[in-house]
Amino acid sequence: MLKRLLAVVPVVFGVLLLTFLLVHLVPGDPVEVMLGESATTADRSQLRADLGLDQPIVAQFATYLNKLAHGDFGHSIHSKTAISKLLAERLPATFKLALVALLIALCIGLPLGIAAALKANRWPDSLATLLSLTLSAMPHFWLGPLFMLVFALWLGWLPVSGMESPTSIILPALTLGFGLAAILTRMTRASLLEVLHEDFVRTARAKGLPERTVILRHALRAALLPVVTVVGLQLGSLLAGAVITETVFGWEGVGRLLVESIEKRDYPVTQACVLVIALSYVFVNLLTDMAYSRLDPRVRYS
C-alpha cells in the first residue's frame, strides 16, 4: 500500500501540470470576463497584476504548487471566495449523487447479470442482454432530458431540477446509474458464466450443498473480482460524469462548479475541481486493490 501511495505522486503531478497548461491554453481572458469590454487598459493591467496573471507560466505554476503544498487551493478569481470553501460546499452533493447512482446500478446490474448467467441462452438471458445494450447506448446528455420530460413535465411526479426536495436526487441518480447498470449486467453475466464451470463449483454441488449456497457463497464470490474492478473504475467515472448530469439537472456539485469556472475562465477553481476528480480516481483504485485481497485470499501484492 505504501508503494502504491508513492506511485500516486507522479500521477497527481502530471494531472496538475496538464490541467494548468490546458486551462491557460483555452481561448479567453478572465480579466475580460470580469471587467467587460468597456474597461480601460490600465484597469486590465492592474487586475492582471493583482491576480498574478502577468507572471510567466512557469512562475504561476510554481506559485500554484507552493500553495498546494501548504494546503492552500487559493481563491476564486471571480468571487474572491476561498476555493477550499467552495469545494467543501459542493463535494458532499457530488459524492451523494455518485453513491446513490452506484446503489441503483448495483441493485439493477447484479440481479440482472446473475439471472442472465443462470438462464444462459434462454429468454431471461436475451432480455437482460437487450436491456443492457439499450441502456449502454443512451448517453447522459440525452437520457437526462428524457427523464425530465417524462417524469417531471408529463407525469409531474418528480422535480425538474435543483436540490430543494429530497426527491430531486432521483432523476440525476437514475441518469448516472442506468449506464453503469448496463456495464455491471454484462460483466456479472460473463464472469459468473466462467466461474460456474470451475471444478470447485462442481465439488460444492457434489457435496449436496443447496444451489442457492453454491451460487451466492462460492460462485458469486469468485466472480466478483472483475466486477469489483469495474465498480471501482466506474465510481470514479460517476464523479467525473456528474459534470454533464449536474449541469443538466442544476445539481450544485463539483461538476457544475467546474463548468461554471470554465465559463468564467476561473483558472484556480478549474484546476482544483479537476484535481479533486483525479484524486477520487486514484483513491477509489486503491480501495479496489484492498477489496481484492478481501474477496480472494489468493491475491497478494509484492
pLDDT digits (tens, 9 = 90+) for 82-94: 888 888 888 888 8
Per-residue pLDDT, 298: 62
DSSP string, the chain: -HHHHHHHHHHHHHHHHHHHHHHHHSS--HHHHHH-TT--HHHHHHHHHHHTTTS-HHHHHHHHHHHHHTT---B-TTT--BHHHHHHHHHHHHHHHHHHHHHHHHHHHHHHHHHHHHTTTSHHHHHHHHHHHHHHTS-HHHHHHHHIIIIIIIS--S-SSSSSSGGGGHHHHHHHHHHHHHHHHHHHHHHHHHHTTSHHHHHHHHTT--HHHIIIIIIHHHHHHHHHHHHHHHHHHHHHHHHHHHHHHT--SHHHHHHHHHHTT-HHHHHHHHHHHHHHHHHHHHHHHHHHHHH-TT----
Domains of the chain: 91-295 (1.10.3720.10)
How do residues 147-181 score in pLDDT, each as one tens digit?
Answer: 888 888 888 888 888 787 888 888 888 988 888 88
pLDDT band at 251 (very low <50, low <70, confident <90, very high): confident
How do residues 118-138 score in pLDDT, each as one tens digit?
Answer: 888 788 888 888 888 888 788
Mean pLDDT computed over 189-204: 80
